[in-house]
């Protein structure tokens, strides 16, 4: 059979499958139209609000009030300093900690040491929240409450943020952290549990059960593997590369510093592995490690038994 025949024979598939995609395409079109409409409304609103602020700013800060003292002489007035709190940008210190004090900035208690975020913390929050935002429009929690997921950033924007971490927006970070905190409170799983145990039950299933497990989870897996008996993180990475991925038709190539896994799908160059497969790979590696650990324990036990069974002549 030729591929042309296969392609033509596919015309005869059930009506319902043809309809499914048409409905999907229509919904996507409607959603896109709605997004454009909202963007237009938002732009108009921003214009109106911006104009209002400009007028207020003009009268408050550029127009020096005509104030007179009781003796009739004109008084000089100091120009009021503009509150720059909202203009803070999250940069990173040389030690990797965030420059802005997140807790002070957002009012959200943050369980990071000294109340300051490391670069990885910020990435973790962004990645986990992006994953949710990409996947869900509205999130319903186990207690029945629900809320809209924030609009996620586009892949291009995400790439730009990666390249220029100083562009991480405190507002967006606050919104994302709030999202994760709400998940955490409602279902009893702490976000940081997810970091420490990258395959949790229950609440985190919301995150990891569909093919959108986030990239940092691989990194956590490697860290976890490294901390559970492997000499170093680099050894864990190597073992990950060397694990038996017989079911996967591609070669694991490399990891980047964020835990993304890349592979060669063919001749088209390096590609990032999709998130659902990453989780499967982690599972395979876990099993591989567990097998190695059990074998090592058995060998040690056998060795001890052999030593006991055959004491030396002394």
Partner 1 sequence: MTDEQIVDLYRDRDESAVSETAHKYGRVIRTVAQNILRNDHDAEECVNDTYLKAWESIPDARPTRLYPYLARITRNLALNRLREQTAEKRGAGQALASLDELSECVSGTAEESGEFADKVAFKEIMNGFLAGLSPETRGVFVARYWYSYSISEIARMYGISESNTAVTLFRTREKLKKLLETEGLF
* Region binding partner 1 by CB under 8 A among candidate stretches 50-58, 67-75, 94-102, 271-279: 271-279
* For partner 1, the closer CB: 2 or 86: 2
Give the H or E element holding residue 34.
helix 15-57
> Rule CB under 8 A: is residue 218 a binding residue for partner 1?
no
Among 139, 195, 223, 273, contact with partner 1 (rule: CB under 8 A): 273
* C-alpha to C-alpha distance for 248 and 259, rounded to whole angstroms: 19
> Rule CB under 8 A: is residue 249 a binding residue for partner 1?
yes
> Rule CB under 8 A: is residue 21 a binding residue for partner 1?
yes
> Rule CB under 8 A: is residue 307 a binding residue for partner 1?
no
Among 184, 213, 275, 282, contact with partner 1 (rule: CB under 8 A): 275
252 secondary structure, DSSP code: E
Among 101, 193, 277, 280, contact with partner 1 (rule: CB under 8 A): 277
* Residue matched to tokens 């990258």: 198
* C-alpha to C-alpha distance for 72 and 155, rounded to whole angstroms: 63
- Helices 155-163 and 119-135, packing angle to 10 deg: 180
Binding mask 80-119 for partner 1 (x = CB under 8 A): ----------------------------------------
> Rule CB under 8 A: is residue 233 a binding residue for partner 1?
no
Least Å distance between CB 26 and partner 1? 8
* Residue matched to tokens 């799983």: 189
* C-alpha to C-alpha distance for 215 and 272, rounded to whole angstroms: 10
* C-alpha to C-alpha distance for 128 and 258, rounded to whole angstroms: 12
* For partner 1, the closer CB: 50 or 159: 159
Please work out, in degrees rounded to the nearest 5, the angle formed at the alpha carbon of residue 103 by the alpha carbons of 84 and 105. 15
Give the H or E element holding residue 193.
helix 191-196
Q: Per CB under 8 A, which of residues 145..204 are in contact with partner 1?
A: 155
Answer left, alpha or beta for residue 160, where phi above 0 means left and psi between -120 and 50 means alpha: alpha
* For partner 1, the closer CB: 31 or 293: 31
Among 119, 271, 284, 288, contact with partner 1 (rule: CB under 8 A): 271
Query: What's the full length of the chain, in residues?
Result: 314
The residues binding partner 1 (CB under 8 A) are 1-15, 17-22, 24-26, 28, 32, 134-135, 155, 211, 249, 265, 271-277
């Amino acid at each position: 059979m030729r591929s042309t025949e296969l392609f033509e024979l596919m015309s005869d598939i059930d009506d319902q499958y043809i309809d499914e995609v048409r409905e999907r395409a229509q919904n996507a079109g409607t959603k896109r139209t709605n997004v454009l409409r909202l963007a237009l409304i938002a732009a108009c609103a921003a214009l109106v609000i911006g104009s209002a602020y400009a007028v207020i700013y003009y009268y408050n800060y550029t127009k020096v009030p005509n104030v007179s003292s009781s003796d009739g002489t004109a008084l000089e007035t100091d120009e009021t300093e503009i509150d720059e709190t909202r203009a803070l940008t999250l940069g990173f210190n040389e030690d990797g900690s965030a420059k802005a004090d997140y807790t002070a900035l957002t009012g959200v208690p943050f369980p990071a040491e000294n109340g300051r975020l490391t670069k990885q913390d910020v990435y973790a929050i962004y990645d986990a929240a992006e994953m949710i935002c990409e996947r869900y429009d509205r999130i319903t929690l186990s207690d029945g409450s629900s809320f809209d997921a924030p609009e996620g950033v586009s892949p291009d924007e995400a790439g730009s943020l990666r390249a220029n971490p100083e562009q991480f927006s405190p507002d967006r970070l606050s919104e994302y952290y709030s999202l994760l905190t709400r998940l955490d409170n409602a279902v009893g799983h702490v976000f940081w549990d997810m970091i420490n145990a990258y395959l949790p039950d229950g609440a985190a299933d919301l995150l990891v059960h569909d093919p959108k497990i986030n990239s940092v989870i691989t990194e956590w897996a490697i860290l976890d593997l490294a901390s559970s008996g492997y000499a170093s993180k680099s050894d864990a990475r190597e073992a990950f590369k060397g694990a038996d991925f017989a079911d996967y038709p591609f070669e694991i190539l490399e990891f980047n510093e964020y835990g993304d896994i890349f592979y060669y799908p063919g001749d088209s160059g390096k590609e990032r592995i999709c998130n659902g497969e990453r989780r499967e790979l982690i599972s395979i590696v876990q099993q591989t490690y567990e097998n190695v650990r059990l074998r090592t324990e058995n060998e040690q036990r056998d060795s001890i038994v052999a030593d006991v069974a055959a004491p030396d002549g002394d």
